Structure 1
Amino acid sequence: MLLRFRVANVRSLRDEQELSFVAPEDDENERATARETELSDGRRLPVHTVLGVFGANASGKSNLIAALRNMRHCVLRSYADWTSYDGIPRDEFALDPKAAAETSLYEADFVLADGVRWSYGFELGQRRVEAEWLYAYPKGRRQVWFERDATREKDFDFPGDRLRDRARLARTTRPDALLLTRAANDGHEQLTPVFDWFKNNFWDVTPETERTQREDYTALRLLRDESFRRRAEELLKVADLGIVGVEVEQTSSGRPTVRLVHETGGDRTVLDWDAESWGTRSWFALIGPLLLALDTGAVLLVDELDASLHSRFAAEVVRLFQAPWLNRNGAQLVFTAHDLSLLRTPGGGRLLQPGQIWLTEKDERGATTLTPVADWEPTEEEDLMSSYLAGSFGAVPKMSEGQIGRRLLRTQETAALGTGPADDDARTGAEGL
C-alpha cells in the first residue's frame, strides 16, 4: 500500500508537497474509514484506501496525478529511454526561470506484501540523476540499502552487506539512469520486488485520453475471464437500468467489438457501440482498470472522476474502495473532482473524512500548494461541503457571484463604444489613408 508521496519542481508543484494516506492514530473517525495495515515490526498502521483531491480550475489537481504517473514512468523507463544526448525529461516548473537549474524530486513510501515498509526516491537534474536512495524498515528502524549523490567522487554508497552485486550495479548504472531500473533490467533478486511495486501501481485513468484503450482492455477481459464478466455485467446494469447483458466478439483487426443488450418493455435490443451514451461508454472503460485494481491491490489514479459519471455514481466508486468486504487486497484510489457533493452522503453524513480530502490552490507565483482539510481542524458536526463552498478551507475560485457576466458585459459595451484596442488600431489605419 502507498503511505506517502513527495514531489517538488514538477509542473505547477514548485515547492515540496506531500500527499499522505496515513490516518491520524488518535482520531477515531479517521481510523474507522482507514484500513489497518500490519507492518513487519508488528505495528498496525491505519492507512486510507481513498483520497479525493479538490480545487479550483487550473489549481494543479491534474498535475498531482501526472506527478504520480511520471514517477512510475521514470522507474520503468529510465534505462531504456533516457540518454545524455537528449537530456532527462523532467517537466519542471515553467513559471520560474530558476527552476530549470534545480532538481525535480520524487519519493514514495509504501508497504510490500510481506509488511516491510520501503522508502524510495530520486532527484533529477537536466542531464543526470543527482540523487537516489532506497531505505527499508523491516524492524521499524531505517536500513540504508543505497544512497546516491552525483556531487561526490563516488556516486554510490552501500552501507553494510545487504545489497548483492553492489560493485557491478555502481559500475554499470549510467549517470542518466536510475539504479533501480538498471537492477530490475538484470532481474536483480533483491531490488526487483521494489521495481515491480511501481510497475503494478499508479494505473492512470483520464476520461479525455486513452478511453479507447481502456474500452479494449475491458472487452478483452470480458472475453477471457468469466468471473470478470459476471462482475462487469452487474456493474453495467447498475449504470443503466436498461442494460441486461453485453456481447463481445474478437475481430480480425485485433480490436474486440462490443454491443450492449438493452431491454425495454420486455423487448431486447442490441445497440452498436457508437449509439451508446458517453456516460455509459466511460463507465465501461473504467470497469476494467477498477476491477484490476481491486483484484490486485493496486493504486488507481482517476483524474476528474465526476467528468462523465453522475455524482451518485461516482460516490459508489468511492464506496467500492472504502468497503473492506469488497476491497480485500488493499487497493487504493486517488481521484480528482469538481463535484463537491462527493463530500456528503445523501443522508447528510460524510463520504470522506477530513484526512481524505486534499485541496489544491495556486499562490501568486502560480505554484500549487497541497493541504488536507484535516489541517483546518473541522468539528465532527461541521458540514464539509458547506464550509468548503463558503471558502473556509480556501481552494475555491476567487470570484464573486456574477463576476464573469459583468466582465463580459463590460467588454461588449467597450466594443460598442469603439474604445477597445481593435477599434483604436482601425482608426489609426483609417487616418493613414
Structure 2
Amino acid sequence: MLLRFRVANVRSLRDEQELSFVAPEGSEGDHAAAREVTLSDGRHLPVHTVLGVFGANASGKSNVITALKNMRDAVLRSYAEWIAHDGIPRDQFALDPKAAAETTLYEADFLLDRNVRWTYGFELGPQQVEAEWLYGYPKGRRQVWFERDATREKEFEFPADRLQDRAHLARTTRRDALLLTRAANDGHEQLTPVFDWFKSNLWDVTPETERAQREDYTATRLLESEDFRRRTEELLRVADLGITGVEVEQSSSGRPTVRLVHMGSGERSTLEWASESWGTRSWFALIGPLLLALDTGAVLLIDELDASLHSRFAAEVVRLFQAPWVNPKGAQLVFTGHDPSLLQTPSGGRLLHPGQIWLTEKDERGATELSSVAEWEPTAEEDLMAAYLAGSFGAVPKVSEGQVGRRLLRADRTAQAERTGAEGA
C-alpha cells in the first residue's frame, strides 16, 4: 500500500507537495473510512484506499497524477532509456527560469511484505542523479539501506553493510541512472522487491485517451478468464440494464472483436462495437484495469474519472475500492475530478471524508499548492459538497455569474471599435 508521496519541481508542482493516504489524527470519520493496517512493529495505522483530487481547470490536478506516473517511469526506465536522452528527462516547472537548475524530487512511503514500511526517493538534476536513498522500518526505527549524494567524494554510502554487492552497485551505476534500477537489472535479491513495487503499482488511466488499448486489454482478459468474464458481465449489467452478456472473438487483425448482447422487446441482439454509446465503451475500457488493480492490490491512478462516466458510476468505482469485501487486498485509487457530487452519497452522507479530499490551487506564481480538506477541520455535520462549491476550502474557479458572457461582449465591442477606428483612419 502507498502511504505518502512527496514531489517538487515537476510541472506546476514547484514547491514540495505531499499527498498522504494516512488518515489524519482527530478525524473520526476518516478513521472509520480508512483500512486499519498492522505494521511490522505492531503499530496500527489507518490508511485510506481512495483519494480524490479536485480543483479548478488548469489548477494542477492532472499534474499530481503525472508526478506519480513520472516516478514510476523513472524507476523502471532510468538504466535502459535515460542514456539515450540529452540529459535527464524531468519536466520541471516552466514558469521560473531558476527551476531548470534546481533538482526534481520524488519520494514514496509504501508497505512491502509483512507490512514493513519503506521510504524510497531521489533528486534529479539536469544531467545526473543528485541524490537517492532507501530506508526500511522493520521494527519501527529507520534503517538506512543506502544513501547517495553526488556532491560527496564517496557518492554512495551503505551503513551497517545490509546490502549485498555494494561495491559492484556503486561501481556500475551511471551518474544518470538510479541505483535501484541498476540493481533490478541484475536481479538483485534484496532490491528487486522494491523495484517490483513500482512495476506493479501507479498504473495510470486517462479515460479520454488510450481507450482503444484498454478496450483491447479488457477484451483479451475476457478470452483468458471465465471468472473475469463473469465479473465483467455483472459490471456491464449495472451500467446498462439492457446488456445481458458479452461476446468476444479473436479477429485475423489481432485485435479482439467485441459485441455486447442486448435484450430488447424479449429478443436477444448484438450491436457493432462502434454503435455502442461512449459511456458504455468507456466503462468497458475501465473494467480491465479496475479489476486487475483489485485482484493484485495495486495503486490505480485515474485522471478525470468523471469525464466520460456518469457521476453515479464514478461513485461506484470509488465504492469498489472502499469496500473491504470487494477489495480484500487493499488496492488503492487516486483520481482527479470536477464533479462535486462525488463528495457525497445521494442520501446526503459522505462518500469521501475530509482526509480523502485533496484540493489543487495555483498561487500568484502559477505554482500548484496541494492540500487536504482535513486541514480546514470541518465539523462532522458540515456539508462538504456545499462548502466546496461555496469556496470555503478554495480550489474553485473565481468566476462570478455571467462573467464569461460579459467578457465575450466586451471583446466583441472592443473589436468593433477597433474596426470602426481603422475604417475612419
Shift of 1:63: 0.4
Shift of 1:68: 0.3
3-state SS in 1 of match to 2:404: helix
Matches within 5 A, 1:262-273: 262-273=262-273
Q: How many correspondences in the alignment?
A: 425
1:374 aligned residue: 374
Answer yes or no: is the 8 Å Cα contact 1:25–1:46 preserved in 2: no
Aligned residue type for 2:391: G
Give the Cα–Cα distance (whole angstroms) in 1 for the partners of residues 135 and 21 of structure 2: 19
Aligned residue type for 1:326: V
Matches within 5 A, 1:391-410: 391-410=391-410
Shift of 1:398: 1.1
RMSD between superposed Cα atoms in Å:
1.2
1:48 aligned residue: 48
1:16 aligned residue: 16
Is it true that 1:356 corresponds to 2:356 in the alignment? yes
1:228 aligned residue: 228
Answer yes or no: is the 8 Å Cα contact 2:24–2:374 preserved in 1: no
Give the Cα–Cα distance (whole angstroms) in 1 for the partners of residues 256 and 172 of structure 2: 43
Give the Cα–Cα distance (whole angstroms) in 1 for the partners of residues 411 and 140 of structure 2: 63
Is it true that 1:295 corresponds to 2:295 in the alignment? yes
Give the Cα–Cα distance (whole angstroms) in 1 for the partners of residues 37 and 99 of structure 2: 38
Question: After TM superposition, which residue ranges in structure 1, 4 or more long, deviate above 4 angstroms?
Answer: none
Aligned residue type for 1:338: H
Is it true that 1:206 corresponds to 2:206 in the alignment? yes
Answer yes or no: is the 8 Å Cα contact 2:303–2:335 preserved in 1: yes
Matches within 5 A, 1:134-149: 134-149=134-149
Distance change >3 Å, CA 85–CA 301, structure 1 → 2 = closer
Give the Cα–Cα distance (whole angstroms) in 2 for the partners of residues 198 and 333 of structure 1: 15
Identity of aligned residues (%): 80
Q: Which runs of 5+ in 1 are unaligned?
A: none
3-state SS in 1 of match to 2:114: coil
Answer yes or no: is the 8 Å Cα contact 1:223–1:248 preserved in 2: yes
Aligned residue type for 2:401: E
Shift of 1:414: 2.4
Shift of 1:345: 0.7
2:3 aligned residue: 3
Give the Cα–Cα distance (whole angstroms) in 2 for the partners of residues 204 and 341 of structure 1: 23
1:216 aligned residue: 216
Matches within 5 A, 1:14-413: 14-83=14-83, 86-413=86-413
Deviations 1:144-187 (A, max 9, x none): 00000001111100001110000000000000000000000000
Shift of 1:28: 2.3
Deviations 1:377-415 (A, max 9, x none): 101100001111111000011111110011111112222
3-state SS in 2 of match to 1:160: helix
Deviations 1:53-74 (A, max 9, x none): 0000000000000000000000
Aligned residue type for 1:270: T
Answer yes or no: is the 8 Å Cα contact 1:261–1:269 preserved in 2: yes
Give the Cα–Cα distance (whole angstroms) in 2 for the partners of residues 115 and 347 of structure 1: 36
3-state SS in 1 of match to 2:313: helix
Give the Cα–Cα distance (whole angstroms) in 1 for the partners of residues 253 and 181 of structure 2: 34
Shift of 1:113: 2.9
Q: TM-score, normalised by structure 1?
A: 0.96
Shift of 1:84: 7.3
3-state SS in 1 of match to 2:218: helix
Answer yes or no: is the 8 Å Cα contact 1:84–1:128 preserved in 2: no
Shift of 1:85: 5.7
Give the Cα–Cα distance (whole angstroms) in 2 for the partners of residues 393 and 172 of structure 1: 49
Give the Cα–Cα distance (whole angstroms) in 2 for the partners of residues 44 and 326 of structure 1: 22
Aligned residue type for 2:322: Q
Answer yes or no: is the 8 Å Cα contact 2:223–2:248 preserved in 1: yes
Q: TM-score, normalised by structure 2?
A: 0.98
Shift of 1:120: 0.2
Shift of 1:25: 4.4
Shift of 1:126: 0.5
Aligned residue type for 1:10: V
Deviations 1:32-75 (A, max 9, x none): 11001111101111000000000000000000000000000000
Shift of 1:309: 0.7
Give the Cα–Cα distance (whole angstroms) in 1 for the partners of residues 390 and 251 of structure 2: 54
Answer yes or no: is the 8 Å Cα contact 2:208–2:308 preserved in 1: no
Give the Cα–Cα distance (whole angstroms) in 2 for the partners of residues 191 and 342 of structure 1: 39
Give the Cα–Cα distance (whole angstroms) in 2 for the partners of residues 341 and 325 of structure 1: 24
3-state SS in 1 of match to 2:418: coil
Give the Cα–Cα distance (whole angstroms) in 2 for the partners of residues 98 and 381 of structure 1: 45
Distance change >3 Å, CA 214–CA 85, structure 1 → 2 = closer
Give the Cα–Cα distance (whole angstroms) in 2 for the partners of residues 337 and 370 of structure 1: 14
